[in-house]
Structure 1
Amino acid sequence: MSVTPFDSVLFGPLLSDAELAALLDDRAQLRAMLSFEAALARAEGRCGVIPEEAAERIAEVADRQEVDSASLAEGTARDGIPVPALVAALRKAVGGEAAHYVHWGATTQDVMDTGLVLRLKQILDLLETRLDVLGEALAALADAERGTVMLARTRGQQATPTSFGLKVAGWLAPLQRHLNRLEEFEDRLGVLSFGGAVGNLSALGEEGPAVEAALAEELGLAVPAMPWHAQRDSLVELGNWLGLVCGSLGKLAGDVLLLCQNEVGELREGGGGGGSSTLPQKSNPVRSEAVLALARHAVGLTRQLQAAAFHQHERDGVAWQLEWLVLPQMIVATGAALRQSIALIESLEIDRARMRANIDATNGLTLAEAASFALSAHLPRPEAQALVKDACKEVLASGRPLVDILAERSDAPVDWEALRDPAAQLGAADTFIDRVLESRGSEADI
């Protein structure tokens, strides 16, 4: 068995995400760090800090060099970081006098943090695309099902009629807010990490800020107010955002999971699958289960990533290593949850007849609130509520419809036949669905 399902050939297709994992593996990390070294050499050559010929040679080699991660394993175990061994390998490959200028004025954390940021930009682009794809699928579903009447359930109990479209809009609305949050914090995350040994670029003297600016330009990153070696708030913010996304996906999957129960039967996962080793009749909600499990895992890790903010002094190896343990898992879990959620919604099967049958099976109990307000137009509100509550007890005892019992007990001029229609109790559902669609620019779907 693999250490985690994320690395498992067996469980990977269910719980992992190959596309995101490829941006987090050793090869991707080493490539990003070598990109930093190439850009650093170019920047320092432009600023006259190192000879231009040396800069060109270093950049040329770093841009094309492929380093076997296994060759760095012993050095990483010895030093607690891979960069000393990587720099040694790069210097050997560069050769000659130019090798002397490799990694000039930088420190390990500059290389690793900036390499991470470069990959996070690609990772966030992928997550944003998936959020948008899921959002479009949910927007179309919310619009199409705005007139589908179903039971609302509060605190695990049947409540009143509502619209399935409104429920779907409730899954969609937070996803749009997550996209807005992402747009807002991406700029804080996409910044260069370059501070030298203790965060003051002392090895570069007066040329430090100029090299910093040139390096940021080479890499397409912003320049922070100061080096952020020991300031991990942006990475923690990313983790919090991943937790928020997974929380919303878990809510969606949890709802679907409950509505797929045989006793409810209002939804089914499409696409086949979900078989049992011994029960031929079963079709298990595999995608919903996977999304909810991944969401719970990622949300649980947010606390651990927040603990990495306790960064001692100018560099803290313990807090730093905690990030290495936690953040990749959160990213892959979020990506996998999004992937499975898209497949879940795109293949979701809706049993509208069962939704209506479940309402009818309540014998009108889900119309109790509507009945109490209809009576309140003719009776004091407390009297109306008491009348309806007593009638509900008779429904449970006799199995007769609530509206019939109320019509017998009250001579108030209520249109009882109109009250029987659960579709008349959807309130402002259409308005709220329209607002959610408008919030993501989906007016054309309204």
Structure 2
Amino acid sequence: MSGASGDRGDPDGIDAGLLAPGWAGSPASASTSDRAFLQALIDAETALTRAWAGLSLAPAAAASALSAVTATDLDTTSIALRARHGGNPVIPLVADLTAAVGGEYGPYVHRGATSQDIMDTAMMLVARRTLRPVLEDLERTARALRVLAATHRDTVLPGRTLTQHAVPTTFGLKVAGWRALVLDARDRLAALRLPAQLGGAAGTLAAFASFGADDPQALVSSYARELGLVEPVLPWHTLRTPIGDLAGALALTAGALGKTAADVLTLSRTEIAEVAEGSGGGSSAMPHKANPVAATLIAAAARRAPGLAATLYASMAAEDERPAGAWHAEWEPLRELLRLVGGAARNAAELTEGLRVNADAMREHLGLNHGLIVSERLAVELAPVLGRARARDLLARAAERAVTEGRPLVDVLDEEPALKDVDLADLTDPARCTGSAGALTDRALERR
């Protein structure tokens, strides 16, 4: 049998991720390996034979014989190379499984199914197995962010818009926003319905009736139940909602984590230094550097995910009852999406659990523009006192003087006779200019 010699091309049966440090070593690296996919294909074939046996249309011993075969018994490289002849790995796999179970039980392997039935089902199995640790890592991330947001509920820092200081905000509110995105991603992944696929050659279940299934849908139900997947209403060979939903949820997750990474990358710049990764990575050339490696890897995943999802969405426009090319185009992008998100979720959990916050730097940066960061509040509060136009003109002149003379805005305003009865210390205190940031943070943290 061609499958007896083990994986010659890759002795470990996995792509180790030499060029993919973002997901290398993550749970997703194992659950999406070639060997893992091969095992999922075998599991799908085994479940089909069990479903036949459950209807008393195949010997239970045939299912048992097939259950005894695992991916480690087969030659992954040989199957991959032989897949060229039929365009997918199911065809050579069926030949190897048939040989493995022997002549008596061989006829019950792959009975009535088409290659796409097995490939699509295996994809759903791999997705389910990969998403379990992803969801666990997202929960870890959400817990860490909850603690961080609560701790820094009232830690004030510059709010930045279009790269510039705008008005004061709080680090707690920023982190609560990160957490909200993580929970959005978690909820979308948890809500995914991952169905089995079983339709036969053109999605009519015709072959199953020919093999004696009086109610082919009962076979589909049993098949899905064996696998722990959702029973499909219809065969979905060219109805690719499950793939589209999965692509969208994965891409959203990558983007959600990417937002946190983008902020960490910005705030950890040397000249800002408001946050730092707990264990930043080093540089091969510059010993002094502590690079934000986790955030960098998450950001890389977030940039790649949309293109991969786009390929999966494009494949939804599939012709006929089973397509040529559209279905085949899904396999690699879907696997890469699962890997990227699996790695990003792991990295996000580690990043947020170890993130260090420099509240002193945040406070110091509030004064970088001489106190102009509170000008919005001043304009609102002084308008009733001076009139809107006069208040605007006074503040414009004071702001120009503060910048030109290198003085705090509050000192310049203190020289204005018209403001002698105004509590300028209160109005120019950034901590008093954060609006409803604290209440918004509390509201966000109520979500579980």
Structure 2 residue 332 is matched with structure 1 residue 333: no
153 and 192 in structure 1: CA distance in 2 versus 1, 3 angstrom threshold? same
| Residue-by-residue CA offset, 1:253-305 (whole Å, 9 max, x unaligned) | 1111111112212122222432351x343322222222111211112322122
Question: Distance in 1 between the 2:288 and 2:224 partners?
Answer: 60
Equivalent position of 1:257 in the other structure: 265
- The structure with more helix, counted as a fraction of residues: 1
Structure 2 residue 277 is matched with structure 1 residue 269: yes
Q: Is the 8 A contact 2:250 2:341 kept in 1?
A: yes
Question: Distance in 1 between the 2:340 and 2:389 partners?
Answer: 51
Question: Distance in 2 between the 1:307 and 1:375 partners?
Answer: 56
Residue 10 of structure 1: how far off its partner (Å): 4.3
Residue 164 of structure 1: how far off its partner (Å): 0.8
Q: Is the 8 A contact 1:14 1:290 kept in 2?
A: yes
Structure 2 residue 154 is matched with structure 1 residue 154: no
Q: Is the 8 A contact 1:142 1:166 kept in 2?
A: yes
Question: Distance in 2 between the 1:390 and 1:7 partners?
Answer: 64
Question: Distance in 2 between the 1:47 and 1:316 partners?
Answer: 31
Mean CA deviation greater in 413-422 or 160-169: 413-422
Structure 2 residue 367 is matched with structure 1 residue 363: no
Which residue, 406, 429, 436 being the options, matches 2:437? Answer: 429
Secondary structure of the residue aligned to 2:74 is coil
Equivalent position of 1:231 in the other structure: 239
Superposed, which structure 2 residues align to 1:39-50 within 5 Å?
Answer: 39-50=47-58
200 and 299 in structure 1: CA distance in 2 versus 1, 3 angstrom threshold? same
Which residue, 60, 69, 92 being the options, matches 2:65? Answer: 60
Query: Which amino acid letter does the alignment assign opposite residue 230 of structure 1?
Result: T
Equivalent position of 1:165 in the other structure: 172
Question: Distance in 2 between the 1:316 and 1:40 partners?
Answer: 23
Question: Distance in 1 between the 2:127 and 2:23 partners?
Answer: 20
Query: Which amino acid letter does the alignment assign opposite residue 204 of structure 1?
Result: F
Q: Is the 8 A contact 2:15 2:33 kept in 1?
A: no
Which residue, 339, 342, 346 being the options, matches 2:349? Answer: 342
Structure 2 residue 396 is matched with structure 1 residue 392: no
Gaps of 5+ in 1: 441-446
Question: Distance in 2 between the 1:303 and 1:289 partners?
Answer: 23
Gaps of 5+ in 2: 1-9
200 and 63 in structure 1: CA distance in 2 versus 1, 3 angstrom threshold? farther
Which residue, 28, 35, 44 being the options, matches 2:43? Answer: 35
Query: Which amino acid letter does the alignment assign opposite residue 405 of structure 2?
Result: S
Question: Distance in 1 between the 2:108 and 2:287 partners?
Answer: 68
Structure 2 residue 119 is matched with structure 1 residue 112: yes
Superposed, which structure 2 residues align to 1:14-413 within 5 Å?
Answer: 14-50=22-58, 53=59, 55-65=60-70, 66-184=73-191, 186-187=192-193, 190-205=194-209, 206-277=214-285, 279-409=286-416, 411-412=418-419, 413=421
Residue 11 of structure 1: how far off its partner (Å): 4.3
Question: Distance in 2 between the 1:146 and 1:376 partners?
Answer: 30
- What CA RMSD, in Å, does the superposition of the two structures yield over aligned residues? 2.0
Sequence identity (%): 38
Q: Is the 8 A contact 2:32 2:130 kept in 1?
A: no
Residue 369 of structure 1: how far off its partner (Å): 0.9
Q: How many residues are paired up?
A: 429
Secondary structure of the residue aligned to 2:299 is helix
276 and 69 in structure 1: CA distance in 2 versus 1, 3 angstrom threshold? closer
Mean CA deviation greater in 266-275 or 9-18: 9-18
Query: Which amino acid letter does the alignment assign opposite residue 282 of structure 1?
Result: K
Mean CA deviation greater in 133-142 or 68-77: 68-77
Residue 248 of structure 1: how far off its partner (Å): 1.6
Question: Distance in 2 between the 1:421 and 1:299 partners?
Answer: 42
